[in-house]
A = this chain, B = another copy of it.
Amino acid sequence: MKPDKNIIFPLGDKLPNDNFNGETWLKMLVSDDKIYNCPIGNVTFAPGARNSWHRHSGGQILLVTAGNGYYQEKGKTARRLREGDVVTIPLDVEHWHGAAADSWFAHLSITPNSRTNNVTWLEPLTDREYAEANKS
Protein backbone atom coordinates (compact mmCIF):
# COMPACT_ATOMS: atom_id res chain seq x y z
CA MET A 1 0.00 0.00 0.00
CA LYS A 2 1.39 3.42 -0.93
CA PRO A 3 0.17 6.91 0.03
CA ASP A 4 -2.10 8.58 -2.49
CA LYS A 5 -1.53 11.90 -0.74
CA ASN A 6 1.27 14.37 -1.28
CA ILE A 7 3.45 13.36 1.65
CA ILE A 8 6.04 16.11 2.11
CA PHE A 9 8.46 14.43 4.48
CA PRO A 10 9.97 10.98 3.91
CA LEU A 11 7.89 7.89 4.71
CA GLY A 12 10.68 6.05 6.56
CA ASP A 13 10.22 2.54 7.92
CA LYS A 14 7.14 0.54 8.83
CA LEU A 15 6.33 0.57 12.51
CA PRO A 16 5.80 -2.72 14.35
CA ASN A 17 2.20 -3.33 15.35
CA ASP A 18 2.75 -3.46 19.13
CA ASN A 19 1.11 -0.10 19.72
CA PHE A 20 -0.27 0.59 16.25
CA ASN A 21 -3.18 -1.04 14.45
CA GLY A 22 -2.86 -0.99 10.65
CA GLU A 23 -0.02 0.14 8.40
CA THR A 24 2.06 3.01 9.78
CA TRP A 25 5.50 4.42 8.97
CA LEU A 26 8.00 6.53 10.93
CA LYS A 27 10.85 8.68 9.69
CA MET A 28 12.84 10.47 12.40
CA LEU A 29 13.71 13.96 11.08
CA VAL A 30 15.55 15.20 14.17
CA SER A 31 16.97 12.59 16.51
CA ASP A 32 16.72 12.71 20.27
CA ASP A 33 20.00 14.19 21.39
CA LYS A 34 21.25 16.34 24.22
CA ILE A 35 21.41 19.52 22.10
CA TYR A 36 17.86 20.13 20.87
CA ASN A 37 15.89 18.19 23.54
CA CYS A 38 13.13 18.03 20.96
CA PRO A 39 13.01 14.94 18.69
CA ILE A 40 10.81 15.25 15.58
CA GLY A 41 9.36 12.39 13.56
CA ASN A 42 7.13 12.15 10.49
CA VAL A 43 4.35 9.60 11.04
CA THR A 44 2.25 8.31 8.13
CA PHE A 45 -0.92 6.23 8.58
CA ALA A 46 -2.66 4.17 5.89
CA PRO A 47 -6.47 4.57 5.85
CA GLY A 48 -7.88 3.00 9.02
CA ALA A 49 -4.54 2.87 10.86
CA ARG A 50 -4.25 4.33 14.36
CA ASN A 51 -2.30 3.96 17.57
CA SER A 52 -3.36 2.62 20.97
CA TRP A 53 -4.42 4.79 23.86
CA HIS A 54 -1.31 6.34 25.42
CA ARG A 55 0.03 9.33 27.31
CA HIS A 56 3.23 11.43 27.43
CA SER A 57 4.57 12.74 30.72
CA GLY A 58 5.98 15.82 28.94
CA GLY A 59 3.24 16.31 26.34
CA GLN A 60 3.40 16.07 22.53
CA ILE A 61 2.72 18.33 19.54
CA LEU A 62 1.20 17.16 16.23
CA LEU A 63 1.36 19.20 13.01
CA VAL A 64 -0.85 17.71 10.28
CA THR A 65 0.80 17.79 6.85
CA ALA A 66 -1.50 15.58 4.73
CA GLY A 67 -4.83 13.81 4.67
CA ASN A 68 -7.55 13.40 7.28
CA GLY A 69 -7.43 11.81 10.70
CA TYR A 70 -8.56 11.99 14.29
CA TYR A 71 -7.25 12.97 17.71
CA GLN A 72 -9.22 11.93 20.75
CA GLU A 73 -8.73 12.42 24.47
CA LYS A 74 -10.27 9.80 26.78
CA GLY A 75 -13.84 10.76 27.66
CA LYS A 76 -14.11 13.42 24.94
CA THR A 77 -15.43 13.48 21.39
CA ALA A 78 -12.84 12.78 18.67
CA ARG A 79 -11.54 15.82 16.81
CA ARG A 80 -11.38 15.55 13.02
CA LEU A 81 -7.98 16.67 11.69
CA ARG A 82 -7.05 18.17 8.34
CA GLU A 83 -3.89 19.46 6.64
CA GLY A 84 -2.59 22.49 8.57
CA ASP A 85 -4.15 21.53 11.92
CA VAL A 86 -2.09 21.69 15.11
CA VAL A 87 -2.69 19.59 18.23
CA THR A 88 -1.00 20.35 21.54
CA ILE A 89 -1.39 17.30 23.75
CA PRO A 90 -1.24 18.14 27.45
CA LEU A 91 0.98 16.30 29.91
CA ASP A 92 -0.30 12.90 31.06
CA VAL A 93 -3.58 13.10 29.11
CA GLU A 94 -4.69 9.72 27.71
CA HIS A 95 -5.33 9.91 23.95
CA TRP A 96 -4.93 8.28 20.53
CA HIS A 97 -4.45 9.56 16.97
CA GLY A 98 -4.60 8.06 13.52
CA ALA A 99 -6.07 8.15 10.02
CA ALA A 100 -9.71 8.38 9.11
CA ALA A 101 -11.14 5.11 7.77
CA ASP A 102 -11.18 6.52 4.24
CA SER A 103 -8.00 8.63 4.08
CA TRP A 104 -4.23 8.55 4.31
CA PHE A 105 -2.93 10.76 7.09
CA ALA A 106 0.48 12.24 7.93
CA HIS A 107 1.59 14.36 10.85
CA LEU A 108 4.82 15.61 12.31
CA SER A 109 5.24 14.49 15.91
CA ILE A 110 7.27 16.74 18.20
CA THR A 111 8.31 15.52 21.64
CA PRO A 112 9.14 18.51 23.83
CA ASN A 113 10.98 18.21 27.13
CA SER A 114 12.45 14.97 25.80
CA ARG A 115 14.96 14.55 28.62
CA THR A 116 12.10 13.88 31.04
CA ASN A 117 9.26 12.93 28.65
CA ASN A 118 8.14 9.29 28.89
CA VAL A 119 5.40 7.60 26.89
CA THR A 120 3.08 5.06 28.53
CA TRP A 121 1.24 2.75 26.13
CA LEU A 122 -2.18 1.51 27.23
CA GLU A 123 -4.90 -0.68 25.69
CA PRO A 124 -5.69 -0.72 21.95
CA LEU A 125 -8.57 1.37 20.69
CA THR A 126 -11.60 -0.88 20.21
CA ASP A 127 -13.24 -1.16 16.78
CA ARG A 128 -16.34 0.41 18.33
CA GLU A 129 -14.37 3.41 19.65
CA TYR A 130 -12.76 3.85 16.23
CA ALA A 131 -16.10 3.59 14.39
CA GLU A 132 -17.58 6.17 16.78
CA ALA A 133 -14.73 8.61 16.04
CA ASN A 134 -15.33 8.26 12.31
CA LYS A 135 -18.90 9.46 12.73
CA SER A 136 -17.71 12.87 13.95
Residues in A12-36 with C-beta less than 8 Å from chain B: 29-30, 35-36
Shortest CB-to-CB span from A73 to chain B, Å, is 16
A61 touching B38 by the CB < 8 A rule?
A: yes
Consensus secondary structure, chain A interface: loop
Q: Are B29 and A86 in contact (CB under 8 A)?
A: yes
Decide: A40 near B59, CB < 8 A? Known: A9-B84, A30-B88, A86-B30: no
Q: Which residues of chain B are within 8 angstroms of A40 by Cβ–Cβ distance?
A: 61, 63, 86, 110
Given contacts A35-B112, A40-B61, 15 further A-B contacts (CB under 8 A): A6-B6, A8-B8, A8-B65, A8-B84, A10-B84, A29-B63, A30-B88, A36-B59, A36-B113, A37-B113, A38-B61, A38-B110, A40-B63, A40-B110, A65-B65
